[in-house]
Amino acid sequence: MLTPEQRDRFQRDGYIVIPNFKPADEIARLRARAGEIVDAFDPAESRAIFTTRDQARASDAWFLGSDNTIRCFFEEEAFGPDGQLKQAKALSINKIGHAMHDLDPVFKAFTHDAKLAAAARDLGLEQPQIWQSMYIFKQPGIGGEVRWHQDATFFDSTPISVTTFWFALEDATIENGCLWVEPGGHRGPLRERFLRDGDAITMEKLDSTPWPDDSTAVPLEAKAGDLVCFHGLLPHYSAPNRSPVSRHAFTLHVTDARTAYSPRNWIQRDADFPVRGFD
């Protein structure tokens, strides 16, 4: 699937962009399905939690409860000072997470793709385990910023094996908040680790290496259908979307079963709901 040159580039830079990976009809199906999930989402579901507990704990609970389910999350700037949505619900959702790849037939079909299995294998994932899926909307005008981070912070294993598969579902540009990366930055250390202990979450500082200067970051503009693959240690961020167009993307986070997945990672599976690969 991948050329030797693409594999070399992944080793050297920590990422590759594969153009035209997914056909337009598959993307259209995924986008339509995401729209249906948002339509069916009753904001009161999450608001019930938010009004009865303090904000930080409430949002943690809504997040932690989405580990092996399907939940919608609002953009931070979705609400006005009166607590009402500033725009239609469909334009207010930040993302859907985190187990659509196993629970939703359309997302499942998109994920279980022989071409994707081959790409993962070529990137060194011999026994892939897909822990998480996210549908990210990056809404026009209010699409939130995601600061510098490494995805291995959330999917720690020994040794680190997490690899991110990031599908552009619309053209991602500098204007609408594309990814920015530090080429080669995956050779640096893991800076922090996100730990779960029951209902409590903490961020553990591991290394004081500073985040790259924004001026050294490289934008990964992508066309709808392109696939960006990146190493779990690659520092990356995305800017807010102040443009009038959305920037939908779909991501999968995948480790290798030959590495030891940390029992302290926030997503765990058991025998009733085992973690699966691309088959």
Q: Can you give the binding site for Fe ion, defined by CB under 5 A?
A: 151
Decide if 25 contacts 146 (C-beta within 8 A): no
Q: Shortest Cβ distance from residue 253 to Fe ion (Å)?
A: 8
Smallest distance, Å, CB 1 to Fe ion? 23
- By beta-carbon proximity to Fe ion, the closer residue of 151 and 170 is 151
Name the residue nearer to Fe ion (CB basis): 235 or 277.
Answer: 235
**Nearest Cα to Cα of residue 253 among 183, 160, 172:** 160
| 69 vs 103: CA distance, rounded Å | 8
Closest distance between Fe ion and the C-beta of residue 99, in Å? 17
| Shortest Cβ 46–Fe ion spacing (Å) | 22
* Closest residue to bound Fe ion by CB: 151
First to last CA, the chain: 16
**What is the closest distance, in whole angstroms, from the C-beta atom of residue 236 to Fe ion in the complex?**
6
| CB nearer to Fe ion: pick between 79 and 148 | 148
Residue closer to Fe ion (CB basis): 91 or 136: 136
The DSSP call for residue 188 is: S
- Identify which of residues 50 and 261 has a Cβ nearer to Fe ion in the complex: 261
Token pair listed for 201: 């979450």
SS (H, E, C) 223-279: CCCCEEEEECCCCEEECCECCCCCCCEEEEEEEECCCEECCCCCCCCCCCCCCECCC
What is the nearest approach in angstroms of Fe ion to the Cβ of residue 178? 13
Conformational region of residue 83, where left means phi above 0, alpha means psi within -120 to 50, and beta covers everything else: left
CB nearer to Fe ion: give 75 or 151: 151
In the complex, the smallest distance separating the C-beta of residue 164 from Fe ion, rounded to whole angstroms, is 6
Check the CA dihedral 210-175-166-41 and report its sign. Answer: positive
- According to DSSP, residue 194 is labeled E
Q: In what helix (H) or strand (E) does residue 147 lie, and over which residues does it extend?
A: strand 146-149
If the CB atoms of residues 41 and 241 are measured against Fe ion, the closer one turns out to be 241
